[in-house]
Structure 1
Amino acid sequence: MQIIYLIVAAESDDKAFAAAESQLVRHYVKAPDVRETVLVEKKRLEKGTGFVIETKPAP
């Protein structure tokens, strides 16, 4: 199993999920089997805004 973190900017939750799916299709030759998609955090997006995504080391 592979965990993928994807950041998208969208006007609504529905558009965010659609954008996430679209990005996966564009990135991979064969789109991965997605088991779960979760909105983790909503933040205002402005010029100069940055976000850190922490991950756990692989076992």
Structure 2
Amino acid sequence: MSGEQKMKAKGEQTKGKIKEAAGRLTGDERLEEEGRAEQAKGDARQAKEKTKDAFKH
């Protein structure tokens, strides 16, 4: 996994977790859902990069 893409994926996952937690604390369902979506985006990016790495070897 390239370093830049790995950092982007982790950043999206972390940012999503923070948004989800903030939404849960404040009762803001929209923010909570945005957080889950952002985490999913980070997960997808990470899975894509892992797949690329698997085919390189």
TM-score normalised to structure 2 length: 0.33
Q: Higher helix fraction: Structure 1 or Structure 2?
A: 2
Larger RCO (CA within 8 A; separation ≥ 6): 2
